[in-house]
């Protein structure tokens, strides 16, 4: 059975990123995949980024997966053996969230082959995607803010495991009640409108993304 893993890099378990990941998961399940969602910011989930132990580079050692023992290690095992991997992150001060970056370091570095840079260590080729959510209103502003460099490069690094794509959700709804916050640059009425008109379309795209990634992974 196709295995699909969904990684939530937002601290909010029911925020925009999580909702899109869950919808992509629905799509994957609909088409017959076995799917799992991991919340990287779970309070009882302790891990750090790469500890530079070099276990993944030791001669004769286990390659391709981080073996540093902590709560993330079993998830990394699942990630390298998955057929489909979908990471989700909000834009945080122009970058992917810190916990997603820590996850990425632990996933990517073991795949970097110091003996042959052109041939990464890939346990299982996979289709992948990165779901990016943000206040940023559109693609034009996305480029103006250089998010295409900071966010897209992060997402594209999954390309070492196989075909990968980027999924954007703009102008997301950040607060349950905008009247409680100092946020004049984010007009409540406009945000509400986007939540009601744009976000449902994004959810539908996420559903299709989940389906398509599973479908395509079967041809790998």
Ligand X SMILES: Cc1cc2nc3c(=O)[nH]c(=O)nc-3n(C[C@H](O)[C@H](O)[C@H](O)COP(=O)(O)O)c2cc1C
Kindly list the residues in this chain that would bind ligand X in the complex (CB under 6 A).
10, 12, 15-18, 90-94, 133-136, 172, 174
Phi, psi of 167, rounded to the nearest 5 degrees: -130, 125
Burial of 40 (0-12, 13-18, 19+ CB in 10 A): buried
Residue in the shown chain whose Cβ atom is closest to ligand X: 15
* Distance of alpha carbon 118 from alpha carbon 114, whole angstroms: 9
Q: Which is nearer to ligand X, 2 or 16 (CB)?
A: 16
| Closer residue to ligand X, CB minimum distance, 84 or 131 | 131
* CA atoms of 110 and 63, how far apart (whole Å): 7
Considering the complex, state which of residue 12 and residue 63 has its C-beta at the smaller distance from ligand X: 12
Least Cβ distance, residue 8 to ligand X (angstroms): 8
Contact 131, 24 (CB under 8 A): yes
Q: Which residues does 95 contact at the CB level (< 8 Å), separation at least 6?
A: 101, 150, 151, 154
Round to whole Å and give the CA distance between 101 and 107. 10
Collapsed DSSP state (helix, strand, coil) of residue 185: coil
- Measured from the CB of residue 94, what is the shortest distance to ligand X in angstroms? 5
CB-hemisphere CA count at 13 Å for 144? 6
> Which CB atom, from 68 or from 178, has the smaller least distance to ligand X?
178
> Looking at beta carbons only, is 46 or 185 nearer to ligand X?
185
Work out whether the CA dihedral 147, 47, 86, 88 comes out positive or negative: negative
State in angstroms the smallest separation of the CB of 110 from ligand X. Answer: 27
DSSP state of 51: -
Closer to ligand X by CB, 11 or 27: give it: 11
Residue 122 CB, nearest distance to ligand X (Å)? 29
Please report how close the Cβ of residue 172 comes to ligand X at its closest, in angstroms: 3
User: Bridge partners of 96?
Assistant: 91
- CB of 90: closest distance to ligand X in angstroms? 3
Tokens of 34: 């076995």
């Amino acid at each position: 059975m196709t295995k699909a893993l969904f990684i939530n890099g937002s601290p909010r378990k029911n925020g925009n990123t999580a909702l899109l990941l869950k919808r992509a998961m629905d799509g994957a399940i609909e088409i017959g995949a076995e799917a799992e969602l991991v919340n990287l910011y779970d309070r009882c989930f302790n891990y750090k980024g790469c500890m530079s132990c070099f276990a993944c580079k030791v001669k004769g050692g286990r390659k391709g997966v981080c073996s540093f023992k902590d709560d993330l290690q079993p998830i990394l095992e699942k990630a390298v053996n998955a057929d489909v991997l979908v990471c989700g992150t909000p834009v945080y001060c122009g970058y992917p969230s810190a916990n997603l970056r820590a996850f990425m370091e632990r996933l990517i570095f073991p795949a970097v082959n110091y003996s042959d840079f052109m041939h990464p260590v890939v346990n299982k080729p996979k289709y992948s995607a990165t779901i990016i959510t943000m206040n940023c209103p559109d693609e034009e502003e996305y480029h103006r803010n250089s998010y295409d460099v900071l966010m897209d490069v992060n997402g594209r690094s999954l390309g070492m495991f196989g075909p990968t794509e980027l999924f954007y959700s703009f102008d997301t709804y950040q607060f349950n009640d905008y009247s409680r916050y100092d946020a004049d640059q984010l007009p409540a009425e406009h945000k509400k409108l986007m939540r009601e008109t744009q976000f449902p379309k994004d959810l539908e795209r996420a559903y299709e993304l989940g389906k398509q990634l599973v479908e395509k992974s079967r041809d790998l």
